[in-house]
């Protein structure tokens, strides 16, 4: 096992949104801080730093995780996906993102990246989820602006049978 | 859902009333928002961490920062003495001496009060060093309950003031004593509104820099306004306002009033930068936010009505004790006065007595929180209406109906001018189509099965665009005379057109997430015959360059009746200017010009047209060809200052706001006899906010406010123990509703446009924060047949009501 002293900065290598990246971090640095401050991936937000609000959710090897509850060193060698990975490189929004816009599922947008990443994981693994299941997933996130209704409509829409793309 | 009616788009205004999708969303959905913490900072920037008081009340005997300063990467430790040397105390609204600085000076007065600031190369190092700072405290007795703070011998929060009761004012309108003496019955109720806030998911962030070359400060922060606080900050920093440049970012992660309270931290970081000689950045964490950012004031109130046997209210009395925490932070005590002119709510009541008391305790200072006095006031008034029905054995809905204001405009007893409405129709429409009947049926079934189930109602008048003079009602008429009258509310927006005909808009509303950029684009595009995509809106504020006033900011539902109107006026003036240019070129009369589809054309002969860009370009490229009366500038800042917002009259009548919307709610609440959980079965909310400029965004505001009202009713409370220890420091203790706790909500609208604004739109973002706690409390009272409902109605509280004292087995 790799050992790093508590006051030493170690080089962390990981895959971020499909690209190999590296940066220095002390062992105690949170993944959320590493993403934002070292790698410049500011789309991931920090809302509570104790794992309740869900705002900092990213995918680690495809699984939704609170990046405020993971140390950067734990992501060594892993593949991390953040909200910046969702749209096409030409800026075209994906189906889930489009549904959020269509259903007014965001206001201030601060909690939105975490919610998008949770449902990116969940909808990728569940083909025909029930409304109750989707609500259960959403209940892992705090949103203070919307009252959740638009988000529920968006994820139901995004989980449903595909209509023809615009 | 939304009726169209007068809300709808029409031929002359194709974009008003349309559910236009937000122009803000793309960036936010891609992770490309620009919140303050995302912005690049100067390389020399230091990171700040605040050392906070663990005591509710204590003398600061000594601070030893030497061990912290000896650590590598630590640049400075700043204490109250530095702040006292370099700043003046913040201005407050009362004459009593309650000095407040950006750090505690000599004494701490609540848990979490900032005591020292550590500046380091990064936040991790700053927090390490903070643990090495030795602060010696001499604890003092603390008081956290407002009634206890008023008792003789209570610990004084501010000894210099000599009292914890900073203000008492008694108001009489009409002849309440006569009405009470003559009434068939008197009904009263006591309420206690808890401390809570709506905790935006993004906490406070400040980056500040002192420029020694010209003794000026430059700060960027997710401040929400009002900018009346800018002079408060500049005075504290001992500089003219022009030497405090305050900027707000493109995006902000919610505020709900809370981000007013970033202001003492702006001053603190400004001073820190001055001391350190480098820029300073501070990002508040969640514990800091929960324990010390801001709370809505807790209110203890008695409401009393003089009534006829039939439930007609002849007179009302309110006696409110409002707890503002350890300091009276500007613009407190706003919540006690924001509703003042509309104290009689939706009811036609001529006689009114109000007593307002401002009290301090050893708890976090109160600030702006969405609803701002409305939730507290309507909990008292609407609980009272329910009690009138219960005591007189009437249907609460009939008591509401019997007392509703029916003729508009209506001048309320305490001075509010209700601009328009049709309250009776709103009520009947809401309960119609079987909505109330089916709820009554569900109640019948639940009760038959032995499950407590109640129905609650609430009728609320919702203020929009505050009169900046209302807080002066706090002073006596003589004191107001001496200080000079305060009144009005100025809104500002700017429309500019560039040499290629592209339209830019800026306005006096910092971003909080409501979607104001979209609405401004709708308004301006509508006026200029363009599409929403043609209009670029920038709401990053820079007080050094942008048009702003003391009323500026995103608060008190001022956007639709205020800034939106200013944008409409600016666009209209720009349109007139372009019409004059086009008329000359098209050789038609100015009245014959219309704007549509990116063209400026003759109404009578649409083929006689120029492109919008061509007309606009004339002002830039060919100013000599402009008509004589058209100035060679395509930048127009319009101000909107409605004359109805007069100062308080000598007899203390005050029109507290410009527009008054109406909200009528009813709901069913079932209480689980095993878990004592109150479950909202279904909830109906009816709104009359006049014309809706974007009904999709309007419903978004309603839904957000509804869940915040639900949170206040059932979940959220900042809890202190009797010694002032803070018990709600995580999101596992301070319970924010998740998607699983939110019941179905049905939203209805009718539309009585305001005659006092050119757009007819009223504020609507706070109504449900005001109505929902009262409506749910009324349903719980009905379910359990009880007179007093304390909020939040948690399982613990309901258990205490339902199960009685525990008996030994």
Residue boundaries of the structural domains of chain A: 10-83, 95-159
B689, B698, B696, B702: which is closest to B752 by C-alpha?
A: B689
The two structure tokens encoding residue B292: 């010390």
Total Cβ atoms within 10 A of residue B167: 20
B692, B754 contact by CB (below 8 A): no
Chain A within 8 Å of B480 (Cβ-Cβ)? no
- pLDDT exceeds 80 at position A165: no
**Pairing between β-strand B410-411 and β-strand A63-66 as defined by DSSP bridges:** unpaired
Cβ pair B69, B303 in contact under 8 A:
no
For residue A2, what pLDDT is reported? 82
pLDDT at position B96 is 80
Task: Tally C-beta pairs within 8 A across A and B.
Answer: 167
Please give the Cα distance from B712 to B710 (Å, whole number): 5
Sorted by sequence, the CB contacts under 8 Å of residue B224 that are 6+ apart come out as: B248, B252, B255, B257, B258, B259, B260, B262, B368, B510, B512, B553, B554, B555
Query: Would the CB atoms of B738 and A52 count as touching at under 8 Å?
Result: no
Minimal Cβ distance to A49: which of B21, B286, B745: B286
Q: Report the mean per-residue pLDDT for chain A.
A: 96
DSSP 3-state of B257: coil
Q: Which residues, other chains included, contact B381 with Cβ-Cβ below 8 Å and sequence gap of 6+?
A: B303, B316, B318, B345, B774
Q: Looking at CA atoms only, how far is residue B710 from chain A in angstroms?
A: 10
Test B202 with A52 for CB contact under 8 angstroms: no
Rounded to a whole number of angstroms, the distance from the CA of B492 to the nearest CA of chain A is 23
Instruction: Look up the ipTM and state it.
Output: 0.98
**What's B675-742 look like in SS3?**
CCCEEEEEEEEEEECECCCCHHHHHHHHHHHHHHHHHHHHCCCCCECCCCCECCCCCCCCCCCCHHHC
Least CB–CB distance from A100: residue in B29, B705, B732: B29
Question: What does chain A come to in residues?
Answer: 166
For B288-320, letters b (16+ CB in 10 Å) and e give bbbbbbbbbbbbbbbbbbbbeeebbbbbbbbbb
* Element containing residue B659 per DSSP (H, E): strand B657-671
Q: What is the pTM of this model?
A: 0.97
Mean per-residue pLDDT for B735-763? 98
d(CA A64, CA A119): 9
Tell me B347's DSSP state: B
Q: Give the pLDDT score at B9.
A: 54
Cis (ω within 30 of 0) for the bond into B226?
yes
| Cβ distance of A139 and B739 shorter than 8 Å | yes
The mean pLDDT value of chain B amounts to 96
Q: CA A130, A135, A136, A141 torsion: positive or negative? A: positive
Q: Which residues of A touch B201 (CB under 8 A)?
A: 45, 47-48, 53, 55, 108, 110-111, 142-144
pLDDT at B806: 67
Going along chain B from its start, the domains and CATH numbers come out as: 25-33+490-640 (3.30.365.10), 373-467+657-802 (3.30.365.10)
Closest-CA residue to A44 (of A103, A111, A107) = A111
Q: How far apart are CA A95 and CA B202, in angstroms?
A: 26
Give tens-digit pLDDT for A100-142: 999 999 999 999 999 999 999 999 999 999 999 999 999 999 9
List CB contacts (< 8 A) between B700 and chain A.
104, 107, 145-146, 150
Please indicate if any CB of chain A lies within 8 Å of the CB of B256.
yes
Residue B303, classed as helix, strand or coil, is strand
Q: What stretches of chain A show up as alpha helix (H) in DSSP? A: 31-33, 95-102, 112-125, 131-138, 149-159
Closest Cα in chain A to B41 = A37
CATH architecture of A95-159: Orthogonal Bundle (1.10)
Residues 443-472, chain B, touching A (beta carbon < 8 A)? none
Q: How far apart are CA A4 and CA B672, in angstroms?
A: 53
CB contact under 8 A, B38 and A42: yes
Q: Is the pLDDT reported for residue B168 higher than 90?
A: yes
Instruction: Please report which helix (H) or strand (E) contains residue B535, including its range.
Output: strand B535-537
Q: For residue range A137-152, what is the model confidence (pLDDT) as tens digits?
A: 999 999 999 999 999 9
**Residue B804 pLDDT > 80, yes or no?**
no
Q: Which CATH number is A10-83's, of 3.10.20.30, 3.90.1530.10, 3.30.70.250, 3.30.70.3280?
A: 3.10.20.30
Contact B440, B455 (CB under 8 A): yes
Answer yes or no: same fold for A10-83 and A95-159: no
C-alpha B202/C-alpha A109 separation (Å) is: 10
Count of beta carbons in the 10 Å neighbourhood of residue B500: 9
> At B485, phi and psi to the nearest 5?
-70, 145
In whole angstroms, give the CA distance from residue B560 to residue B657.
13
Q: How far apart, in whole angstroms, are the C-alpha atoms of residue A67 and residue B385?
A: 49
Task: Give the per-residue pLDDT at B801.
Answer: 87
Element (H, E) at B537: strand B535-537
Burial of B613 (0-12, 13-18, 19+ CB in 10 A): middle
Rounded mean pLDDT, B328-347: 97
A87-100 per-position pLDDT tens digit: 999 999 999 999 99
Strands A79-81 and A10-16, bridge-based pairing: parallel
Q: How many CB atoms lie within 10 A of CB A86?
A: 21
Name the CA radius of gyration of chain A, rounded.
16
Chain B residue with Cα closest to A51: B731
* Per-residue confidence (pLDDT) for residue B454, from 0 to 100: 98
Whether residue B93 has pLDDT greater than 60 = yes
Min Cα–Cα distance to chain A from B19, Å? 10
Task: Give me the residue from A52, A97, A149 closest to B703, CB to CB.
Answer: A149
Out of A43, A91, A107, name the one closest to residue B515 (CB): A107
Mean pLDDT of B225-232: 97
Q: Residues A121, A137: contact at Cβ < 8 Å?
A: no
Q: How far is CA B402 from CA B101, B264, B303, B312, in A?
A: 51, 47, 19, 6
Distance CA B230, CA B351 (A): 39
State how far the Cα of B585 lies from the Cα of B74, in Å rounded to an integer: 68
Return left, alpha or beta for B254; rule: phi > 0 is left, psi -120 to 50 is alpha, else beta: left
Give contacts of A28 with chain B, Cβ < 8 Å.
124
In 3D space, the residue among B342, B340, B338 whose CA is nearest the CA of residue B366 turns out to be B338
Q: Which helix (H) or strand (E) holds B505?
A: strand B503-507
Tell me whether B766 touches chain A (CB under 8 Å): no
State the average pLDDT over residues B212-216: 97
Instruction: Name the percent of chain B lying above pLDDT 90.
Output: 96
Q: What is the pLDDT of residue B264?
A: 98
User: Chain B partners of A57 at a C-beta cutoff of 8 Å?
Assistant: none
Tens of pLDDT, residue by residue over B232-286, are 999 999 999 999 999 999 999 999 999 999 999 999 999 999 999 999 999 999 9
Contact B715, B737 (CB under 8 A): yes
pLDDT of residue A7: 86
> By mean pLDDT, which of A9-18, B87-96, B314-323, B732-741 is the weakest?
B87-96
Of B309 and B7, more confident: B309
CA distance B252 to chain A (A): 6
User: φ, ψ for residue B118 (rounded to 5)?
Assistant: -105, 130
Q: Report residue B453: phi and psi, to 5°.
A: -145, 125
For residue B591, give the DSSP letter.
G
Task: Read off the tokens for B530.
Answer: 């363009």
Residues from chain B contacting residue A41 (CB–CB below 8 Å): 31
Average pLDDT over every residue of B506-532: 98
Q: CB within 8 A of B148, min separation 6: which ones?
A: B154
Supply the pLDDT for residue A166. 44
């Amino acid at each position: 096992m790799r050992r790093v002293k508590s006051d030493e900065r170690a080089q962390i290598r990981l895959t971020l949104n499909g690209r190999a990246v590296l940066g220095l971090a002390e062992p105690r640095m949170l993944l959320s801080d590493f993403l934002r401050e070292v790698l410049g991936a500011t789309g991931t937000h920090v809302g509570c730093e104790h794992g309740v609000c869900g705002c900092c959710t990213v995918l680690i090897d495809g699984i939704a995780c609170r990046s405020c509850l993971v140390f950067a060193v734990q992501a060594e060698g892993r593949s991390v996906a953040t909200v910046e990975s969702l749209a096409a490189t030409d800026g075209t929004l994906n189906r889930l993102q489009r549904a959020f816009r269509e259903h007014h599922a965001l206001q201030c947008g601060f909690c939105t990246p975490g919610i998008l990443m949770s449902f990116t994981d969940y909808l990728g693994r569940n083909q025909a989820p029930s409304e109750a299941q989707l609500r259960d997933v959403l209940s892992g996130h705090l949103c203070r602006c919307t009252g959740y209704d638009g988000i529920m409509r968006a994820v139901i829409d995004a989980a449903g049978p595909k209509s023809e793309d615009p | 859902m939304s009726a169209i009616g007068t809300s709808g788009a029409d031929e002359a205004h194709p974009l008003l009333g349309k559910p236009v999708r937000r122009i803000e969303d793309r960036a936010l959905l891609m992770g490309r928002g620009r919140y303050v913490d995302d912005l690049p900072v100067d390389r020399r920037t230091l990171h700040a961490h605040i050392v906070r008081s663990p005591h509710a009340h204590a003398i600061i005997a000594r601070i030893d920062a030497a061990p912290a300063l000896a650590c590598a990467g630590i640049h400075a430790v700043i204490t109250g003495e530095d702040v006292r040397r370099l700043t003046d105390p913040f201005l407050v609204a009362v004459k009593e001496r309650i000095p407040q600085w950006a750090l505690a000076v000599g004494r701490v007065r609540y848990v979490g009060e900032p005591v020292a600031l550590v500046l380091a190369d990064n936040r991790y190092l700053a927090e390490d060093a903070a643990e090495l700072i030795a602060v010696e405290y001499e604890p003092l007795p603390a008081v956290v309950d407002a009634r206890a703070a008023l008792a003789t011998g209570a610990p004084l929060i501010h000894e210099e003031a000599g009292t914890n009761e900073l203000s008492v004012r008694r108001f009489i309108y009409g002849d309440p004593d006569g009405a009470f003496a003559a009434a068939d019955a008197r009904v009263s109720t006591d309420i206690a509104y808890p401390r809570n806030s709506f905790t935006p998911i993004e906490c406070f962030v400040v980056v500040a820099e002192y420029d020694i070359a010209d003794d000026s400060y430059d700060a960027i922060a997710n401040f929400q306004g009002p900018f009346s606080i800018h002079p408060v900050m500049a005075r504290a920093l001992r500089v003219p306002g022009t030497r405090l440049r305050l900027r707000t970012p493109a995006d902000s992660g919610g505020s709900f009033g809370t981000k007013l309270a970033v202001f003492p931290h702006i001053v603190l970081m400004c001073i820190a930068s001055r001391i350190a000689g480098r820029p300073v950045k501070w990002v508040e964490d969640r514990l800091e936010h929960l324990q010390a950012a801001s709370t809505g004031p807790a209110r203890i109130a008695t409401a009393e009505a003089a009534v006829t046997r039939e439930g007609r209210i002849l007179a009302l009395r309110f006696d409110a004790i409002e707890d503002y925490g350890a300091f009276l932070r500007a613009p407190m005590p706003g919540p006690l006065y924001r509703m003042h002119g509309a104290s009689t709510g939706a009811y036609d009541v001529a006689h009114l007595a109000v007593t307002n008391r401002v009290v301090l305790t050893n708890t976090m200072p109160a600030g702006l929180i969405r609803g701002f006095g409305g939730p507290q006031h309507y909990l008292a008034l609407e609980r009272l209406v329910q009690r009138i029905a219960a005591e007189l054995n009437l249907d609460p809905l009939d008591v509401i109906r019997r007392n509703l204001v029916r003729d508009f405009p209506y001048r309320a007893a305490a001075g509010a001018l209700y601009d328009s409405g049709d309250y009776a129709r709103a009520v009947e429409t809401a309960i119609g189509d079987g909505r109330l009947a089916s709820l009554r049926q569900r109640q019948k079934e639940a009760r038959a099965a032995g499950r407590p189930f109640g129905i609650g109602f609430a009728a609320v008048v919702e203020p929009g665009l505050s009169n900046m003079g209302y807080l002066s009602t706090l002073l006596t008429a003589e004191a107001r005379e001496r200080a000079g009258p305060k009144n009005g509310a100025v809104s500002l927006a700017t429309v500019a057109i560039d040499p290629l005909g592209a339209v830019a808009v800026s306005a006096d509303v910092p971003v909080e997430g409501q979607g104001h950029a979209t609405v401004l684009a709708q308004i301006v595009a509508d006026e200029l015959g363009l599409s929403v995509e043609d209009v670029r809106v920038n709401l990053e504020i820079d007080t050094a360059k942008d048009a702003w006033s003391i009323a500026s900011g995103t608060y008190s539902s001022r956007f639709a009746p205020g800034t939106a109107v200013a944008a409409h006026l600016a666009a209209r003036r720009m349109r007139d200017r372009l019409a004059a240019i086009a008329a000359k070129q098209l050789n038609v009369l100015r009245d014959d010009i219309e704007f549509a589809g990116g063209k400026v054309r003759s109404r009578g002969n649409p083929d006689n047209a120029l492109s919008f860009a061509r007309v606009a370009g004339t002002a830039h490229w060919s100013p000599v060809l402009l008509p004589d009366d058209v100035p060679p500038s395509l930048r127009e800042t319009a101000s909107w200052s409605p004359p109805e917002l007069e100062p308080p009259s000598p007899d203390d009548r005050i029109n507290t706001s410009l527009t008054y919307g109406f909200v009528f709610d009813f709901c069913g609440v079932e209480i689980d006899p095993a878990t004592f959980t109150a479950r909202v079965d279904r909830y109906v909310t009816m709104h009359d906010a006049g014309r809706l400029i974007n009904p999709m965004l309007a419903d978004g505001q309603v839904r957000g406010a509804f869940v915040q009202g639900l949170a206040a009713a059932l979940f959220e409370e900042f809890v202190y123990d009797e010694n002032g220890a803070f018990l709600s420091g995580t999101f596992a203790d301070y319970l924010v509703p998740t998607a699983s706790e939110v019941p179905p909500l049905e939203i209805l609208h009718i539309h009585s446009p305001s005659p006092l604004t050119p757009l007819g739109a009223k504020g609507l973002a706070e109504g449900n924060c005001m109505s929902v706690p009262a409506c749910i409390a009324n349903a719980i009272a009905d379910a359990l047949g009880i007179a007093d409902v304390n909020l939040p109605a948690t399982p613990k509280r309901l258990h205490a009501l339902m199960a009685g004292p525990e008996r030994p087995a």
